């Protein structure tokens, strides 16, 4: 009896012990993965057609070149196949721990400040000091990677601008002028109305309007409108958020009008996370969409290596500057962001990572990336390169940079942005009126940033 009990206990403890041990082992093995080789892991967002150009560029050009010079380093891609909204949460979780942090992470510049304030990123000032190429970077783009503490936390690899895509063929059929140069918000509504009246079956205008499209809803839609009013999102002089102003109400109203007058797509399409892909990979190429308020990078869809190759895209489409609300100076507006390569504080191979970033950011390599990605360059010397200027529409998109706006470099921005997204979705689904949305914006943003950090205009 006693003996049997003893064996039972022994068996249980052996099983239990081995379970605990195996858990401990699996943890250890992940940190010392390679056989003597250093590993540099790169994390970025993938999935569907996302970052196809970037992946291609890393795999075919940068990694082979780097590994040739650094035979002892093994560069590994660790892409995250998630939606845009989830990417930032996942990255934040990964950067928290030494076991999961990659060695290089691509950061949207609006997250740089937040992640730097959280202590997730490594300041690069010491490294940049001895890097002569840094002086070739555009100053306004550099601002995007400098956090509130004044330190630089990343090397930008692209920037962008936003405007109105429009289908010239459809415009001509509807009797609208080509090239289209809208002078005010009213002009946009009028053009959309003309399309609706004359071309049934064509969606007049597409603007990201839901929570599922995340930052695209805040930046490509709401902030594109708001930056054309007299109410800024953030007052850079007093460093305070503007929580009350006619511009806020008017921006919500414009979005509401689009859906009230049925000038937009059906809600079931636009509130979907893959809505943008539907608009730019299916509806535009098929001639089912007339106007789209979005970023310049959408051209990446239509190139040979894009998700929806469309050789006639540059003949058929125009890219117009977004007008200000009533045409007030400077007449047009745009928003810019961009992505940067950063090194996490928990990276194991910071020096190797920095060498990699330097190589990837050289003039030639940056140019080659942007040709694939069809985005704008953060480097002044690349922008002047003749082979860059020859790329269709790069000139127009670059011109938008002269009147563009950047998002506030404050660590609360991401949270305010999600507020904007849910209010915009509330307005388009008629859960809330534009006036109430503006009121709720005031109370919610005040709650987020604190009553000391807000002003009214």
Partner 1 sequence: MSTNTAVSPVVTIKQKTRRDHTLLKSVLFLLPAWILLLIFFVGPILLTFYFAFTNLTLTGTEAKSTEFIGFQNFVTMFQDPDFRISVVKTIVFLLFSAVIGQQVLGFILAVLMKEKNKTFRRIIGIIVLAGWVTPEIVVAFCWVAFLSDNGTLNMVLQHIGMKPVTWMYTFPMVSVVIANIWHGTAFSMLVFQAALDDVPKSVEEAAVMDGANKFQVLFRIVLPMVKGSIVTNMILVTLQTLGVFTLIFAMTGGGPGTSTQTLPIFMYNQAFVNYQLGYGTAISLILLVIGIGASLIYMRSMKAEI
Our CA angle for 288, 290, 293, nearest 5°, is 120
Q: Which of 191, 248, 271, 352 binds partner 1 (CB under 8 A)?
A: 271
Dihedral angle sign, alpha carbons of residues 107, 108, 113, 115: negative
Q: Which of 156, 414, 420, 442 binds partner 1 (CB under 8 A)?
A: 414
Q: Does 266 bind partner 1 (CB under 8 A)?
A: yes
Q: Which is nearer to partner 1, 193 or 415 (CB)?
A: 415
Dihedral angle sign, alpha carbons of residues 99, 102, 106, 109: positive
**Spatial distance between the Cα atoms of 291 and 320, rounded to a whole number of angstroms:** 10
Q: Does 102 bind partner 1 (CB under 8 A)?
A: no
**Spatial distance between the Cα atoms of 101 and 151, rounded to a whole number of angstroms:** 21
| Residue in the structure block whose two tokens are 């005040």 | 446
Paired strand residues for 163: 294
Q: Does 267 bind partner 1 (CB under 8 A)?
A: yes
Q: Which of 7, 13, 326, 389 binds partner 1 (CB under 8 A)?
A: 13
Q: Does 451 bind partner 1 (CB under 8 A)?
A: no
Q: Does 433 bind partner 1 (CB under 8 A)?
A: no
CB of 204 to partner 1, least distance (A): 19
For residues 350 and 122, the answer to whether their CB atoms sit within 8 Å is yes
**Spatial distance between the Cα atoms of 44 and 169, rounded to a whole number of angstroms:** 37
Dihedral angle sign, alpha carbons of residues 93, 43, 336, 209: negative
**Spatial distance between the Cα atoms of 301 and 391, rounded to a whole number of angstroms:** 15
Q: Which of 42, 111, 195, 207 binds partner 1 (CB under 8 A)?
A: 111
Tell which positions 180-219 bind partner 1, by CB under 8 A.
210-212
- H/E stretch holding 108 reads strand 104-108
Neighbours of 60 (CB within 10 A): 12
Q: Which is nearer to partner 1, 4 or 68 (CB)?
A: 4
Which residues, including other chains, have CB under 8 Å from residue 271's CB and lie 6 or more apart? 209, 210, 211, 212, 425, 428, 429
Q: Which of 85, 144, 163, 245 binds partner 1 (CB under 8 A)?
A: 85
Which residues, including other chains, have CB under 8 Å from residue 439's CB and lie 6 or more apart? none
How many residues touch partner 1 under the rule CB under 8 A: the total is: 43
Give the binding range for partner 1 (CB under 8 A) out of 8-16, 73-81, 164-172, 394-402: 8-16
Q: Does 307 bind partner 1 (CB under 8 A)?
A: no
CB of 393 to partner 1, least distance (A): 32
Q: Tokens at residue 301, please? A: 């869809």
Q: Which of 52, 101, 412, 442 binds partner 1 (CB under 8 A)?
A: 412
Q: Which is nearer to partner 1, 83 or 349 (CB)?
A: 83
CB of 432 to partner 1, least distance (A): 8
Q: Does 254 bind partner 1 (CB under 8 A)?
A: no
Q: What's the DSSP call for residue 218?
A: I
**Residues within the interface to partner 1 (CB under 8 A):** 5, 8-9, 12-13, 16, 85-86, 88-89, 92-93, 111, 114-115, 117-120, 210-212, 266-269, 271, 273, 411-412, 414-415, 418-419, 422, 425-426, 429-432, 440, 447
């Amino acid at each position: 009896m006693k003996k049997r009990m003893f064996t039972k206990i022994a068996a249980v403890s052996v099983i239990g012990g081995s379970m605990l041990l195996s858990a401990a082992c699996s943890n250890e093995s992940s940190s010392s993965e390679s056989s003597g080789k250093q590993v540099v892991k790169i994390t970025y967002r993938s999935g569907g057609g996302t970052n196809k150009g970037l992946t291609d560029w890393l795999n075919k050009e940068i990694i082979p070149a780097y590994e040739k010079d650094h035979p002892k380093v093994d560069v590994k891609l660790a892409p995250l196949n998630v939606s845009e909204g989830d990417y930032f949460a996942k990255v934040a979780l990964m950067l928290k721990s030494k076991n999961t942090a990659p060695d290089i992470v691509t950061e949207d510049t609006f997250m740089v400040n937040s992640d730097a304030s959280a202590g997730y990123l490594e300041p690069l000032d010491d490294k940049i000091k001895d890097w002569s190429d840094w002086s070739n970077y555009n100053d306004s783009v550099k601002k995007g990677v400098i956090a509130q503490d004044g330190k630089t936390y990343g090397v930008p690899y692209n920037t962008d601008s936003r405007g109105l895509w429009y289908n010239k063929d459809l415009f001509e059929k509807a009797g609208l002028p080509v090239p289209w140069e809208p002078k005010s918000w009213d002009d946009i509504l009028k053009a959309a109305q003309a399309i609706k009246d004359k071309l049934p079956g064509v969606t007049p205008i597409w603007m990201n309007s839901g929570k599922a499209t995340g930052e695209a809803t805040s930046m490509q839609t709401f902030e594109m409108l708001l930056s054309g009013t007299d109410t800024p999102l953030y007052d850079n002089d007093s460093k305070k958020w503007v929580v009350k102003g006619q511009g806020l109400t008017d921006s919500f109203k414009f979005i509401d009008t689009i859906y009230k007058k049925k000038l937009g797509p059906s809600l079931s399409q636009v509130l979907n996370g893959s809505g943008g892909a539907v608009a730019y990979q299916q509806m535009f190429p098929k001639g089912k969409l007339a106007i789209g308020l979005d970023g310049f990078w959408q051209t990446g869809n239509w190139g040979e290596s894009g998700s929806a190759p469309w050789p006639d895209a540059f003949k058929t489409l125009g890219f117009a500057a977004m007008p200000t609300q009533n045409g007030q100076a400077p007449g047009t507006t745009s928003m810019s962001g961009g992505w940067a390569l950063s090194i996490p504080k928990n990276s194991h191979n910071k020096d190797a990572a920095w060498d990699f970033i330097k190589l990837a950011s050289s003039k030639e390599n940056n140019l080659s990336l942007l040709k694939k990605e069809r985005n704008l360059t953060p480097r002044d010397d690349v922008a002047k390169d003749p082979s860059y200027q020859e790329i269709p529409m790069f000139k127009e998109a670059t011109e938008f940079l002269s009147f563009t706006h950047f998002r506030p470099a404050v660590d609360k921005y991401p949270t305010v942005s999600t507020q904007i997204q849910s209010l915009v979705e509330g307005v388009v689904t008629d859960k809330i009126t534009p006036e109430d949305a503006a009121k709720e914006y005031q109370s919610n943003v005040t709650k987020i940033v604190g009553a000391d950090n807000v002003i009214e205009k």
